Amino acid sequence: MVLRPDGDATLCIGQASHAWICGQLARRWRDVEPFEDVVLAAEQHDVGWADWDRAPQRNPDTGLPLGFTEIDQDTRMAIWESAARKLETQSLYAALLVSLHGTSLRFGLDQTALQDEWIARLGADRELLDRNRRRLLLWDALSLALCLRWDPYEQDGLRLERVTGEDFTLEPWPFSGDDPVIVECEARRLSGAFADEPTLHAALAAAPLERLRFTLRRR
């Protein structure tokens, strides 16, 4: 879960909703191939976190859900180990990218044998696959930078700067076409702190929904 303080409340953005932004970025990105498989992988790369985000562990220091950077290594490993398998029957290429993404994040996850098997089955071009792996890492970082207002943020030669509110510039421009790119995700507005996990989970389930909309423009 991605947590962003907002006044007296906290905006709770599920990992899958943050990943939704990655898919939207991928759809507008220049020269994506194979297009639908890569977009699917970007959109679904955090599919393993869905159950966790519905019933997250509570941070005893804050009374809020644990943020994604606060979760212990064993829990991260358990979530990531099965993530790629969840996409295996939908798109093997997308599943492969999700597996590669997990190992790229250095959680101690080793799926080399599985990845080699899938690469052989697909006859995948390893150079193209590595380009897509690196792009997924970039989209993941840009999505987090938008959600958490990292300003400015630089990665892989791109610079993201916030103008005002949820309006940002991104240079050099990596998208197809010159029109602004608008991406969205859903957050839950959580007010207060909670003494135990059942109370936290009930509050999270009933929390008001907010649609966050981010606009990226040329500088």
Mean residue pLDDT across the chain: 96
Q: At residue 107, does pLDDT exceed 90? A: no
- Reported as a pLDDT band with limits 50, 70 and 90, residue 76 is confident
**Whether the Cβ atoms of residue 176 and residue 183 lie closer than 8 Å to each other:** no
Give domain limits for the chain. Answer: 2-217
Give residue 106's pLDDT: 78
Q: What is the pLDDT of residues 162-188, one digit of tens each?
A: 999 999 999 999 999 999 999 999 999
Give residue 77's pLDDT: 87
Q: What is the pLDDT of residues 141-154, one digit of tens each?
A: 999 999 999 999 99
Q: At residue 92, does pLDDT exceed 90? A: yes
Beta strand pairing status for 167-171 and 158-164?
Answer: antiparallel
- Reported as a pLDDT band with limits 50, 70 and 90, residue 28 is very high
Taking the model in full, what pTM does it have? 0.96
- Reported as a pLDDT band with limits 50, 70 and 90, residue 108 is confident
Q: Calculate mean pLDDT across residues 83-98.
A: 96
